[in-house]
Amino acid sequence: MNSAAYNPPTVRHALLSWGLKRLSRKREKMFAEFEGWNPDWLSYKPSEHGWSVLQVLDHLARSEGAVRILGEQQTERADSRIHLVERLRLLRFKLLLRLPVKISVPRSLAIVSPETPESLEAVTAFWRNEHALLEEFVAIACPASLGTSVLRHPAVGRVSLSGVSGFLLAHLAHHQYQLWRVRFIVSEVFL
């Protein structure tokens, strides 16, 4: 084996891969929680502007897709280093996402606004496909892009590829609160 051609995975790459695998496990666990649900329960919106379970899951899938799409667009441009201020903003935003507070989707990220999927199976297939495409993008972009900007988040600024999995995990945890509320309301209305 030519040692010049071999590029061993870095610690950042290993952490990113671990984070994406963890995200995948959490997603599958989430799907399993809703497998036995009646379609009316899955599509029930607790308020006029509230999201149903299917819409929350669709939003999470679209968010992974947006990370990939924005990352592909950004990696075509010149590399840009992430500043310490942006790293701190990302950390603060990830901590905020861990709290049970409502955060509106920025208008500039309309791509992640949920649609209403036909079924749990449809959103499951869509999300699995988006996740596979994200993993493929990460495999291609790594390790050159690990410390450079792959997307620009409106609330945070530039986010590196190594920061993506932590952001997506915090985003998923944030929507867990929303799903718990919907689950409670559905149990009150339908059961």
Alpha helices in the chain (DSSP H): 11-34, 39-42, 53-75, 84-97, 120-141, 161-190
pLDDT average, residue stretch 106-130 = 88
132, 139 in Cβ contact below 8 A? no
Q: Is the model's pLDDT at 3 over the cut of 50?
A: no
pLDDT average, residue stretch 75-80 = 60
Burial 157-171 (b: 16+ CB within 10 A, else e): bbbbbbbbbbbbbbb
Give the pLDDT score at 9.
60
Domains annotated on the chain, with CATH:
11-190 (1.20.120.450)
What's the pLDDT tens digit per position in 47-61? Answer: 998 999 999 999 999
pLDDT average, residue stretch 103-131 = 88
Poorest-confidence range of 12-16, 33-37, 81-85? 12-16
44, 182 in Cβ contact below 8 A? yes
